[in-house]
Amino acid sequence: MHHSALLNVMIAAARKTARALKRDFGEIENLQVSLKGPANFVSAADRRAEETLYAELSRARPNYGFLGEEGGMRDGADKSHRWIVDPLDGTTNFLHSIPHFAISVALEREGTIVAGLVYNPVSEDLFVAEKGKGAFLNDHRIRVAGRKVLADAVIACGLPHIGRGDAELGHKETGAVQRQVAGLRRFGAAALDLAWVAAGRLDAYWERDIKPWDMGAGIILVREAGGYISDCYGGEEMFANGTITAGNETIGKELLKVLKTA
Ligand code: LIP
């Protein structure tokens, strides 16, 4: 499939990063047995992955800014563009040898996300989208699921980690949603949850206390797959308030109603 020059840059950077991440993931199993576990090893892998992405993306687009989970914001001369990058979304999964994690790369232009990529190096699912050009999984066009009834829907969520976020609210929301849907899931990688909504595998998804690098690429994937994105209050301040919901428009709006009752 013919991709734009921009997507080619993003794909090349992600594939290079993925090769090292996959090797590191192979090491994790050996480290599980040690008492301390592989936590330090994983943070080093995470940092290395971000440096590879930074090197590759800034070689191709030297003036763009770069916001990464590990290194924070690195300003570029071109103030209208910034990459928003999570080198390893789903770190806890990775740490526990669960093969559900992803590299997430978004490009923002003048405050609007114009391209996104989410890549799972283990399954080799590569999701890409560009503004106005649709969303693709391994070069096949994807669209959000068409289900319109909450009772038929499979919905994924995030849950706060120990000491982070509002656990009580999380319990209320999952309880309220669980009572109305066919299935509730918690997979542990926001970028993939959003990509799976875009691909119609999940009918909807919501999460609180997440960061721009967790959701930047996923937002454009869902939108380009014909889906509906909002924050958990029905607005569009996902980055500002760190909350997100995604689905088709009907299920997305139904989900917002249920969250409101929690
Ligand atoms: C993770 C998210 C996940 C969320 C975790 C964390 P990380 O990103 O993708 O959905 O529940 O709290 O933010 O930290 O693995 O890149």
Cβ within 8 Å of residue 120, ≥6 positions away: 99, 100, 101, 102, 192
End residue of a domain, out of 96, 120, 141: 141
Q: 195 and 125 in contact (C-beta within 8 Å)?
A: yes
What is the tens place of the pLDDT at every residue in 20-29?
A: 999 999 988 7
Q: CA-CA distance, 174 to 259, in Å (whole number)? A: 9
Same domain, 12 and 134: yes
Which tokens hold the place of 71? Answer: 């290194």
What is the tens place of the pLDDT at every residue in 197-208?
A: 999 999 999 999
Q: What angle do CA 154, 123, 70 make, to 5 degrees?
A: 90
Verify whether ligand 1 is closer than 6 Å to residue 161 (CB atom). Answer: yes
Q: Give residue 5's pLDDT.
A: 97
Q: How confident is the model at residue 35 (pLDDT cuts 50, 70, 90)?
A: low
Q: CA-CA distance, 141 to 46, in Å (whole number)? A: 30
Verify whether ligand 1 is closer than 6 Å to residue 126 (CB atom). Answer: no
The CA distances from residue 190 to 64, 79, 245, in Å, are 25, 27, 11
Q: Give residue 38's pLDDT.
A: 78
Verify whether ligand 1 is closer than 6 Å to residue 186 (CB atom). Answer: no
Q: What is the end-to-end Cα distance of the chain in Å, rounded?
A: 45
Q: Provide the angle, in degrees to the nearest 10, between the axes of the packed helices 212-224 and 190-198.
A: 0
C-alpha count within 13 angstroms, C-beta hemisphere, residue 10? 28
* Structural domain of 203: 150-261
Please tell me the chain's helix, strand, coil percentages from 3-state DSSP, rounded to the nearest 5.
40, 25, 35
Predicted confidence (pLDDT) at residue 121 exceeds the cutoff of 70: yes
- Per-residue pLDDT, averaged over 201-228, amounts to 98
End residue of a domain, out of 77, 108, 141: 141
Predicted confidence (pLDDT) at residue 30 exceeds the cutoff of 90: no
Same domain, 171 and 129: no
Nearest CA to ligand 1 atom 11: 158
**CATH code for the domain of 41:** 3.30.540.10
End residue of a domain, out of 141, 163, 181: 141
Q: For the chain, what is the radius of gyration of the CA atoms?
A: 18
- Per-residue pLDDT, averaged over 150-170, amounts to 91
Predicted confidence (pLDDT) at residue 36 exceeds the cutoff of 70: no
pTM of the model: 0.96
Q: Give residue 151's pLDDT.
A: 98
- The average confidence (pLDDT) of the chain is 95
What is the tens place of the pLDDT at every residue in 51-78?
A: 999 999 999 999 999 999 989 999 999 9
User: Which of 96 and 67 is assigned the larger pLDDT?
Assistant: 67
Same domain, 196 and 246: yes
Q: Give residue 248's pLDDT.
A: 98
Q: Give residue 164's pLDDT.
A: 82
At residue 196, φ and ψ (nearest 5 deg) are -70, -30
Predicted confidence (pLDDT) at residue 37 exceeds the cutoff of 80: no
Looking up tokens 């993925």 gives 18
Q: How confident is the model at residue 2 (pLDDT cuts 50, 70, 90)?
A: confident
Q: Give residue 258's pLDDT.
A: 98
Q: What is the share, in percent, of the chain residues with pLDDT greater than 70? A: 98
Same domain, 135 and 155: no
Report the run of H or E that residue 35 belongs to, with start and end. Answer: none
Nearest CA to ligand 1 atom 16: 89
Q: Looking at the 3D structure of the chain, how many domains does it have?
A: 2
Nearest CA to ligand 1 atom 6: 90
Predicted confidence (pLDDT) at residue 31 exceeds the cutoff of 80: no
Other Cβ atoms less than 10 A from the Cβ of 127: the count is 27
The CA distances from residue 250 to 21, 39, 131, 144, 175, in Å, are 38, 41, 22, 11, 21
